[in-house]
Amino acid sequence: MFFELRKYYIQKGQKDSWIKYMEKIIMPFQISKGMVITGTFTSKNDKGEELYIWLRRFNSEKEKEQLYNDVYESDKWKTEIFPPIPKLIDRNRTVVTIIEPTKTSVIR
């Protein structure tokens, strides 16, 4: 098991719109495809930029590949869900980190 920590830089003035879009559109769609979203967070960095951070859990690399395909290669993602995203976050600055919990971690 491992987690994918994703950090997005929110476009200026779009924080509330981005959170609403994530909670109402993106997350329900991904969950319907089998994604396990374990947490969502907001923060500001040293420059005052708004950040959105979220965690997804995967049981294996094979499962991740299948879920990525089911979500990101679907017509609904490509034609309906994805198009508004670049107006809400700076996709060029997205940071994705694979992390594994330690034996004593409460998040598993």
Confidence grade of residue 29 (pLDDT, cut at 50, 70, 90):
very high
Confidence grade of residue 38 (pLDDT, cut at 50, 70, 90):
very high
pLDDT reported for residue 98 = 98
Residues 100, 105, 107, 108: is their CA dihedral positive or negative?
Answer: positive
CB neighbours of 96 closer than 8 A, spacing ≥ 6? 4, 5, 6, 7
Q: What average pLDDT is seen over the chain?
A: 97
Confidence grade of residue 42 (pLDDT, cut at 50, 70, 90):
very high
- For the domain made up of 2-99, the CATH class stated in words is alpha beta
Confidence grade of residue 107 (pLDDT, cut at 50, 70, 90):
confident
Residues 1, 35, 10, 22: is their CA dihedral positive or negative?
Answer: negative
| Residue 28 · residue 71 · CB < 8 Å | no
Give the predicted TM-score (pTM) of the model. Answer: 0.93
pLDDT reported for residue 108 = 77
Rounded Cα–Cα distance for residues 70 and 30 (Å):
9
DSSP 72-85: HTSHHIIIIISTTH
